[in-house]
Amino acid sequence: MCNGKGFPDTVVHDRHPARNALLPTVTSLVLSLANDYRFATGALVFTDVFLLIAHFFVDMLHVASDPRIFYIYGVVYGGEPVAER
């Protein structure tokens, strides 16, 4: 079919079959990684903890760098400071 469309022989013999062969390869790779539940669970927990810590530090950097944002009793507020109760 590619020859009929006028593609050169390098495209017909190299790129066209490579795309079709890549699909089952990627599928089998993903399924083999998904079968290792300990690895997947550990990677997910590590990623979640890392993102939780990163978000905390980013919030603290925002509070420190922008005077319009302030921190009261563990909650980050923006705008004008609210009166304490």
| 50 lies in the same domain as 23 | no
pLDDT band of 66, cuts 50, 70, 90: confident
Place of tokens 């760098």: 65
Mark whether 25 and 47 lie in a shared domain: no
pLDDT at 2: 57
**55 and 29, same structural domain?**
no
- pLDDT of 3 reads 62
> How many Cβ atoms sit within 10 Å of the Cβ of residue 12?
14
Whole domain around residue 50: which residue ranges? 43-85
Within this chain, do residues 17 and 51 fall inside the same structural domain, yes or no?
Answer: no
Greater model confidence, 66 or 42:
42
Residues 48 and 22 in one domain: no
Residues 31 and 50 in one domain: no
Q: Check whether 35 has a pLDDT greater than 80.
A: no
The predicted pLDDT at position 62 comes to 82
Are residue 74 and residue 54 in the same domain, yes or no?
Answer: yes
What is the count of structural domains for the chain?
2
39-54 pLDDT per residue, tens: 878 888 999 999 999 9
